């Protein structure tokens, strides 16, 4: 009734997020399938199949891979997102970035290389694949 996994009581609600609060330090890689907000410190790689938000007190010493990222804190490592990467006013990124869309606020600091990814193309429908001449004779 409430999207709970009956085997272990885990809530599988699609709008939940994981929070690593200020004052928390994690040593090792972190992986998440839901949105991830980091206000603490992670010494390791961050892999997320959703959105990664790094608050002003957040610190990542490792690579970041995700669908989207919104960075206000400090990152020492490479950042790769499939969609939008936002680098906010107080952001500091030391490393290379790869994204389909990029937004950098004027006072953000970025030291590294930037590579823009091509947006993924949608597969064409079967009728769009036919040659125009063939469609006329049907």
Judge contact between 30 and 52, C-beta under 8 A.
Answer: no
Structure tokens at 33: 């399938």
> Does an H or E element contain 80, and which?
strand 79-81
Considering the chain, what is the average pLDDT of its residues? 85
Q: Give the range of the structural domain holding residue 110, as residue numbers without chain letter.
A: 4-136
The count of domains in the chain is 1
Task: Reply yes or no on whether the pLDDT at 118 is more than 50.
Answer: yes
Does the pTM exceed 0.95? no
pLDDT in tens, 44-59: 999 999 999 999 999 9
Structure tokens at 134: 């063939």
């Amino acid at each position: 009734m409430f999207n709970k996994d009956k085997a272990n009581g885990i809530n599988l609600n699609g709008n939940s997020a994981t929070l690593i609060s200020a004052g928390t330090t994690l040593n090792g890689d972190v992986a998440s399938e839901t949105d991830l907000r980091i206000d603490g410190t992670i010494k390791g790689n961050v892999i997320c199949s959703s959105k990664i938000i790094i608050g002003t007190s957040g610190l990542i010493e490792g690579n970041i891979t995700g669908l989207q990222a919104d960075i206000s804190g400090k990152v020492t490592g490479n950042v790769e997102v499939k969609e939008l990467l936002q680098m906010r006013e107080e952001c500091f990124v030391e490393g290379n970035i790869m994204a389909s869309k990029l937004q950098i606020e004027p006072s953000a600091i970025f030291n590294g290389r930037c590579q823009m990814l091509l947006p993924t193309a949608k597969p064409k429908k079967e009728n769009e694949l036919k040659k125009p001449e063939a469609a006329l004779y049907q």
